[in-house]
Amino acid sequence: MTHQPESTLIELLRYNQWANQQLLSVCLGLDQSQVSAPIPGAYGSVHRTFGHLLHAEADYIGRITGARPEPPFRWEDGPSLEQLQAFAAQVGQAFLDVVERVPPTQNVHEEEDGLTMDYHARQLFMQVIIHGIEHRINITTYLNTLGIALPELDGWGYLFAYGDRFGLSEGKA
């Protein structure tokens, strides 16, 4: 069954991919102590948080399609930020492909620990955005405490990065 994906959803997934890549690019310039230091009140270190974020995004795809993107590394080997950045691009593209093929109301069926759940794929489409924002905020808050300059990762930063897609025109008042 073909369907016409919601253009705002596609743009939100593009935003998520862009924001992940922007922040990973900044983090590639950090020293190892900054990448591995625990972030109080967050998931873990910068490295651990990005690993968790990308592992979860791949898992969401697997829940929807039955096949998750597999990284070219083993998680237990502790992939580098460079490897995570490459995997982020792979997962981001895979999510765009999924939203092009899967209607938001497609059923997702899960069975785990004696619990059975059925819900619409759109919940996972929302989750990828919400989860990404949450963990990028954890990382940017930590980096701000270190005085590290950060790109604007919100919707305004995305607008200025891709103004042509939003009909942006700039000038002096």
pLDDT tens digits in sequence order for the chain, 173 residues long:
566 767 899 999 999 999 999 999 999 999 999 999 999 888 899 999 999 999 999 999 999 999 999 999 999 998 999 999 999 999 999 999 999 999 999 999 999 899 999 999 999 999 999 999 999 999 999 999 999 999 999 999 999 999 999 999 987 77
Q: Please name the amino acid found at residue 150.
A: L
pLDDT value of position 5? 64
Gap between the Cα atoms of 64 and 124, Å rounded: 8
Answering whether pTM is above 0.75, one says yes
pLDDT value of position 3? 66
Q: Please name the amino acid found at residue 116.
A: T
pLDDT value of position 88? 97
pLDDT value of position 2? 62
Residues 6+ apart with CB under 8 A from 93: 17
Are the C-beta atoms of residues 133 and 142 closer than 8 Å to each other?
Answer: no
Residues 6+ apart with CB under 8 A from 25: 85
Question: Architecture of 7-162 per CATH?
Answer: Up-down Bundle (1.20)
